[in-house]
Structure 1
Amino acid sequence: MATSTAPPRPLPPDLTAYALAHGLTVSGARPGLRQYVHQLWSRRHFVAAFATARLTAQYSGARLGQLWQVLTPLLNAAVYYFVFGELMHTKDDVSDFVPFLVTGVFVWSFTQSTLMAGARAISGNLGLVRALHFPRAALPVSYALQQLQQLLISLGVLAAVLVCCGQLPRPSWLLVVPALALQTLFNTGVALVLARLAARTPDLAQLLPFLLRTWMYTSGVMWSVAQLVRGDSVPGVVRVLLECNPAAVYIALVRYALIDSYGTAQLPAHVWALAAAWALVAGAGGFVHFWRAEERYGRG
């Protein structure tokens, strides 16, 4: 029996018009910014559950388990106290040096851990990125939420240390809430930027610890920025850079809220405006920067 083969149907000359006419879209195409925000919000329960699961599993292999969430910054504070407070006599220039140091270490650790985790959010989850379709921003945002949860656990230990050092609770402690909220927005924005950069250049995750260590030493974690910039030995440009350093700004706000002897004279000028500006620029700018590469994550 003879069979007839029909000639192949020619492709339409305008494939774009053909796709639009039949409701076809590019797989993995980047949605509009507004739609992207809506998609991310619709997956907020996944973000929260993912962050909580990672926090629970973070120290599951250690004998002390979740205690390392607070032991790590406390041990760091002890080392810094010995090196900077005792050997370099930094404590002689700072009132209530132990509360000053412990508060700085806890607040800085929040920024440091968020940025380190954000840098690995995409490159460390390539299997998940390639297997499922979801807004990729959910990963760095969930990592930032995980670090916030860890900080909230650590705040109880910080409060206990402050009380033991004579810093009793007072109404100004409530200022910690807006200060940490602004810091969280700032950290999340920078984590989004690092997630995009590290997704293309994985070696950034190896370089980042050195960059963060340098940033820590210029942020007044172990020494007072206010004491340094008060003299004439610091050039004006350096003084502005030190006072406007976002990490130093958030550390100063939390110290002002929690420590009696840390007054307004030790705060940079317009400190709340600085904190809000850094949070807005980093948060919005980092989100848009990450969204612009949405269709490229997990490819190549």
Structure 2
Amino acid sequence: MVEFFSTLQSYFSVELVRNAFIVSVFISVAASLLGVTLVLKRFSFIGDGLSHTAFGAMAIATVLRLTNSNLFVMPVTILCAVILLRMNNSKKVKGDASLAVISVTSMALGYFLMNVCNVKANVSGDVCSTLFGSTAILTLTPSDVWLCIGSSILVVLVYIFYYHNIFAVTFDEEFAKASGINVNLYNTMIAVISAVVIVLAMNLVGSLLITALVVFPALAAMKVCSSFKKVIITASIFAVLTSSIGMLISIFLSTPVGATIVLVELAVYFIFAIVGMIKK
């Protein structure tokens, strides 16, 4: 045990490891809060679509050799989030069709540009890192860390101050409208928050695994909790616990960060599912 803590201390003496751990905790909390709303509103498809969009935008930013890619990726992803939301409410083109069009096109465009323009020597490695988050989490700059912390805190504050309105919009939009709540405004706000969280989470688990980070905590919490508030709190605890365990396993065993966190979430989810069955 002494040797374990000694090794752990040596790892955390490295700034890159500390930054990665801090970001994983903050992003996991923000993603879990968002996930509860998205799952209950049946908007969880947005996470998958936006992750593919962010990959395409990241590829374009790489081709343009932008110093800070987030300045390009974030606005593009936010715009696509609003478009997906509007198309989901459209009678002509439903959400699943718009998701397929935007996500597949973005992925194809991104991979096409990264290969044709050949801006980096190891294109395959760079694509793998973007898709699965294998190394990006360990190359975070101080500005990236503060951006993740600030954005995550902002998401938490939004849920605290607008809890009742988000609750109403999540469960019954017609009732929310009758109560004088601007439903379109809150849906747009949820879409924008989704885009921000997705872009930030790409550094943690990659664009292909982001959906798990958003959905698993919410689904696990719903297995054991019956109220909205308890689900939010439990989902946050689940997210922090699994991301921390996943990071530690990844550090000690040198496994891919994103894949390790997702597998830990899957394992803990099954535990929650069993507990939920026992309670029933």
TM-score (norm 1): 0.30
| Structure with bigger RCO (C-alpha 8 Å, 6+ apart) | 2
Max Rg structure: 1
Specify which structure has the higher proportion of helix. Answer: 2
